[in-house]
A and B are shown apart, each in its own frame.
Chain A
Amino acid sequence: MNGERRGPWYLLTGLIIGAFLGLGFAWLVQPVRYTNTFPASLRADHKDRYRAMIAAAYMANPDLVRAKARLALLEDEDPYRMLAEQAQRSLAQGNTMEEARALGALAAALAQGSAPVQPTAASQSQATIQETPLASTSEITSTMAVTVTLNGVTLTIGSPVEFTPVPTRMATATPGGPFVLTNQQLVCDQDYGAPIIQIFTFNSAGQQVPAVEIVVTWEGGENHFYTGLKPEVGPGYADFTMTPGVTYSLRLAIGGQPINDLKTPECENESGKFNGAWRLEFIQP
């Protein structure tokens, strides 16, 4: 009988055989199938689609609380930045303009930090909802507001929350009206670094208007972007970096006169010459 001389190798042999059996079962017989997963675990492109859907639903039903709750499921570190980046990416990839607009509008709403009432509750109670013009998505840039009447109290979502017994005035631009350039100013500030065009959009009440689509064209190129994607500057602010030597034309997608012949301005101070910026202010009368 030689069994006593075998040493511990039988243990290793057993482990290897067992491991192969386990792998064979796990990979071939019964491969893993994920179920009951969370949106946060979705692949990046699926997350983008989910995020775009949240934005589309927000455009249809401007319920920021609900949109925020849905965005939280994706566990993005900075939902605002993700939305803004996806909006730009969506435009660059040639997706529908509505998708980019929806993403931009939701980003702007998040940036504004408006705290609307609980439309979720409204949908579950007997509240009535009157949506201000949402018939066409092109008008949404300037009318991100909804009036909710709940138990006789009327309040507006999309602008600072007010509880008043009378219809509230919305801090938004006039739907569909063209913006007018009221100020074009050369700004010489070395801190900007690159030559930029700064755009500010205001409504007739002098409040900045987010999610206004801006179109910049130049020879052989075009770019679309939105106000409100840099909330640290202002909800109605956007900027565009120019390339020296290129002439640009800028207009607002909602309409209005184009601003032509925008070139990199040159500034000078005691330390020498540097690139300046154009500041353009639009008002929707």
Chain B
Amino acid sequence: MECLPNYPSKFRRDSCFATVPMAQYERMARWIAFFIAIAVGTAGGLLYGWLVNPVKYVDTSPSSLRIDFKSDYVLMVAESYRADGNLALAVQRLSGLEEQPVESVSQAVAFAEEHGYGETDLTAMKSLLEALQNWNPSGGETPSP
């Protein structure tokens, strides 16, 4: 290895052979510092995001609700439908979930069966589902939100 005449004085050593390992060491140290900075930053971000100021969802839409809450909403609609028998109103209420009514009720019934809802509640939901499946408001259109 050749010794460069204009090499910075701080890297000069007694022997020119000593400069090359020193530069490599410097480069490696910088990479290590770079990754350590990223790791520290990531850890700091996680600490802040999870503990100090965790995310709070606001202004979400009903379609994002967890399945148990959606199912309870469907149950509310089914309870009302059982009392008033107004299917159009039930469809309008189901549209609040921003999904196809039949799909919403089907999923809710499946959830209710899986999680052991009371017989009365389950019957109400199934009745609503059956009514929706047979509903034909205008020439076979599927009720939509």
Binding site for B on A (CB under 8 A): 1, 3-4, 10-11, 14, 33-39, 41-44, 46, 49-50, 53-54, 56-57, 59-61, 70, 73, 120, 122-124, 134, 137
Contact = CB atoms under 8 A, between A and B. Distances in A.
Contacts of A122: 120
A38 B118 CA distance: 23
A-B pairs, 9 with minimum CB distance: A60-B83, A124-B118, A57-B76, A123-B118, A123-B120, A41-B57, A43-B59, A34-B64, A36-B66
B64 A53 contact: no
B96 interface: yes
A24 B108 CA distance: 36
B12 interface: no
A112 B141 CA distance: 45
Contacts of B72: 70
Interface of A is mostly: helix
B60 interface: yes
B13 interface: no
A49 B96 contact: yes
B71 to A, nearest CB: 12
B58 interface: yes
A11 B40 CA distance: 14
Contacts of B30: 10
Contact of A41 (B26, B58, B75): B58
B134 interface: no
Interface in B6-21: 8, 11
A123 B119 contact: yes
Contacts of A60: 79-80, 82-84
A152 to B, nearest CB: 19
Interface size class of B (residues with CB under 8 A): 35 or more
Given A36-B64, A70-B72, 15 more contacts: A3-B23, A4-B23, A10-B30, A11-B37, A36-B66, A37-B60, A37-B64, A38-B65, A39-B69, A42-B61, A46-B60, A46-B62, A49-B62, A120-B118, A134-B83
Contact of B26 (A4, A33, A53): A4
A38 B69 contact: yes
A93 to B, nearest CB: 16
Contacts of B96: 46, 49-50, 53
B18 to A, nearest CB: 15
B57 A34 contact: yes
Contacts of B11: 4
20 contacts: A4-B8, A11-B37, A36-B66, A37-B57, A38-B65, A42-B60, A43-B58, A43-B61, A46-B96, A56-B76, A56-B80, A56-B93, A57-B75, A57-B77, A59-B80, A60-B79, A70-B76, A122-B120, A123-B119, A123-B120
Contact of A57 (B37, B62, B79, B117): B79
A60 B79 CA distance: 6
Contacts of B82: 60
Given A38-B66, A42-B62, A123-B121, A53 B83 contact: no
Nearest to B68: A36
Contacts of A46: 60-62, 96
